[in-house]
Structure 1
Amino acid sequence: MTHKIAILGASGYTGAELVRIIATHPEMEIVALTGDRKAGMAMAEVFPFLRHLDLPVLQKIEDVDFSNVDLCFCALPHATSQAVISELPRDLKIVDLSADFRLRDPAAYEKWYGKPHSAIEMQKEAVYGLTEFYRDEIRVARLVAGTGCNAATGQYAIRPLIEAGVIDLDQIVIDLKAGVSGAGRSLKENLLHAELSGGTHAYSAGGTHRHLGEFDQEFSKAAGREVLVQFTPHLSPMNRGILATVYVRGEPAAVHGALAARYADEPFLQVLPMGQLPSTRHVGGSNFVHIGVIGDRIPGRTVVVAALDNLTKGSSGQAIHNANLMLGLPETMGLMLAPVFP
């Protein structure tokens, strides 16, 4: 059985990534694509790298016939998804790639996003989309909220360590480098080539980045107590990729053992041999996460490094992983793409 798929917001980077992956998925067929500002255009005009595909013309959301759609991916801007998803048919399965349904507490959403949530009941219904930790809930969900790409990377490195009790919960530092595509496709002066190329800079430092809301929520839930981490992201002049370097107080062997045990049966999580560290260039364009562990020169301290592609495993690949579960398909279907190298 081929499942009919709609992608709302197909003219952005995550929308295009969804199309790229679904194009070779044996059990999904794209029947509707939207891009309000580019309605009436072919995807080949918006993304020439997709010109080999026979795809629907972009249209406005209100013109989509959802009666023939089994599952909808929403790759819309933050805050837009709340209003749009609230109007979609109640029998439609939805994977939302925005931040709108990630935080369970309405007060936390208002704190981090600066406005009250406008779809509280749907927020209560949403399942957090970190697939490896919520797959049972995702299988039976109607609405899945995809994680932030930075939040996913940090959680893959840290969450098993919290669950195994092998680190000091009050001494966790996340230093993260993110590629430019994570900022979206809209024109921004600070993302012009001349403004960005040749340099790296920190942003949202001092505990102001919105993905801290996800860290607070998920780490505290895993620990059964409040866990607050230090987190500083940096914008790096690369198109794709996230590299998170995490500093923890804990014994290297115990840290490595906890990660290796937790991910032993996970198809997309690969823990490298002790002492080997990952690179973003080895996961680009794939749904894989590479995690490395090395001891620090200070006894009792350990460095964990995690690498993933922000557009694939950090967003669209994760969304398809969740959709596979929601549709009763093998969860790796369409996602075993090898990384692109060099």
Structure 2
Amino acid sequence: MVTVAVAGASGYAGGEALRLLLAHPELEIGALAAHSSRGPLGSHQPHLAPLASRELVGLEPELLADSDVVVLGLPHGASGQLTAEILAINPDVRMVDLGADHRLENRGDWEAFYGEGWSEPWAYAMPELLRTGQTQREILADAKVIAAPGCNASAVTFAAQPAIRAGIATGEDIVAVLAVGYSGAGKALKTHLLASEGIGNLNPYAVGGTHRHIPEITQNLRLAGGTLSGLSFTPVLAPVVRGIIATVSMPVAPGTTPSDVTDAYRSAYDGEPFVRWSATPPNTAVTTGSNSALVHAVLDRDGQRLTAVCTLDNLVKGTAGAAIQALNLSLGIPEETGLSSIGVAP
């Protein structure tokens, strides 16, 4: 068995990673660590009954480095220094960061959206990423350190990349509007995340091109061949716990037909175990709890633009599920192992 330690085990992302690891037949859960939370895990993650009596320990690099794999579910900017310390102790350990610290290839992008503290980029945990040259699966198969994608970035990437890859869109003038569940904001106590503020309310945030997933989206879509100018990205907190629905609009090449759009999206995800074409616009309920993303696209009535819709569970395919899928590839395990494509509905 491969032993997996989880840092940030008391948070939403870390807890979701643990839920998936409990169902994995070839991975064994090791040390459970957190920054400030202490006591039995059951007092922080009561739904993880098999781990309820396990004690949380501090983020000690020596303890974490003693595992075969370390999964880090820490706030953005908190992983870079810790991962460097772990690798200094055990260069052979595998690591998967659920935060943003190792996603961005360009230091300038990190500093513009996150500030100081850029860390070296790791293999990006999106096997379905459409790119020229070496496939993302080939990159992940050789990777020992892996960066999980951002949930919003995943939804927009899945919605936009088939059109760009097929050449019916360039990636210019993309407009993306997303409804996002509150778990995507993390577990930290903030006034605008209280139930009294969120229930019955739709709350836009990071408006005007300021959301931190923007450079990640542009990085992904440039790999697919896009020019990426004029990306408009607006997320809206919706009064649900889980789920993202991304509605993405982009101009298409003159003469593009409805069948061109359908063919581009069907062929892009043909044979994919988790990212699938949907014959109708999907909703979030059908992907809740699963590692699936559903994508539908249609040519607009005037033939000038296409509209693509992607839904996924932000904690599974948007974060922890993508991480486990990529870790499976890294370990030489079938990528579907321990992951379900079946949603929970109603």
TM range (shorter): over 0.9
Counterpart contact for 1:32–1:64, Cα < 8 Å: no
Matches within 5 A, 1:188-337: 188-223=190-225, 225-250=227-252, 251=256, 252-273=258-279, 276-336=280-340
In the alignment, does 2:321 pair up with 1:338?
Answer: no
Aligned-pair distance for 1:66?
A: 4.1
216-225 or 145-154, which moves further after superposition?
216-225
Aligned-pair distance for 1:90?
A: 1.4
Tell me which residue corresponds to 1:92. Answer: 93
Tell me which residue corresponds to 2:171. Answer: 169
Distance 1:210 1:63 in 2: 28
Change (3 A) 1:225 1:168: closer
Tell me which residue corresponds to 1:50. Answer: 48
Aligned length: 333
233-242 or 253-262, which moves further after superposition?
253-262
Distance 1:225 1:168 in 2: 6
Tell me which residue corresponds to 1:7. Answer: 6
Aligned-pair distance for 1:212?
A: 0.5
Counterpart contact for 2:9–2:33, Cα < 8 Å: yes
Distance 2:304 2:17 in 1: 42
Distance 1:50 1:131 in 2: 28
In the alignment, does 2:75 pair up with 1:69?
Answer: no
Aligned-pair distance for 1:170?
A: 1.8
Q: Deviations over 1:290-342 (max 9, x none)?
A: 11123323223221100000000000000100110111111000002521111
Q: Deviations over 1:71-92 (max 9, x none)?
A: 1111111111011101002111
Distance 1:328 1:303 in 2: 37
Aligned CA RMSD, in angstroms, stands at 1.6
State the identity %: 37
- In structure 2, the residue corresponding to 1:65 is in which secondary structure? helix
Counterpart contact for 1:290–1:307, Cα < 8 Å: yes
Change (3 A) 1:326 1:67: same
- In structure 1, the residue corresponding to 2:100 is in which secondary structure? coil
Q: Deviations over 1:248-298 (max 9, x none)?
A: 22343222211110110110011012xx11000110010001111233232
User: Which 5+ residue runs of structure 2 have no aligned equivalent?
Assistant: 130-135
Within the candidate set 80, 83, 87, 2:81 is matched to 83
Distance 1:282 1:336 in 2: 12
Aligned-pair distance for 1:169?
A: 2.7
Tell me which residue corresponds to 1:38. Answer: 37
Distance 1:226 1:199 in 2: 32
Counterpart contact for 2:173–2:228, Cα < 8 Å: no
Distance 1:63 1:69 in 2: 11
Tell me which residue corresponds to 2:105. Answer: 104
Q: Deviations over 1:212-252 (max 9, x none)?
A: 01122222232264444211111111000000001122343
Counterpart contact for 2:170–2:226, Cα < 8 Å: no
Tell me which residue corresponds to 2:132. Answer: none
299-308 or 152-161, which moves further after superposition?
299-308
Aligned-pair distance for 1:53?
A: 3.9
Change (3 A) 1:270 1:8: same
- In structure 2, the residue corresponding to 1:114 is in which secondary structure? coil
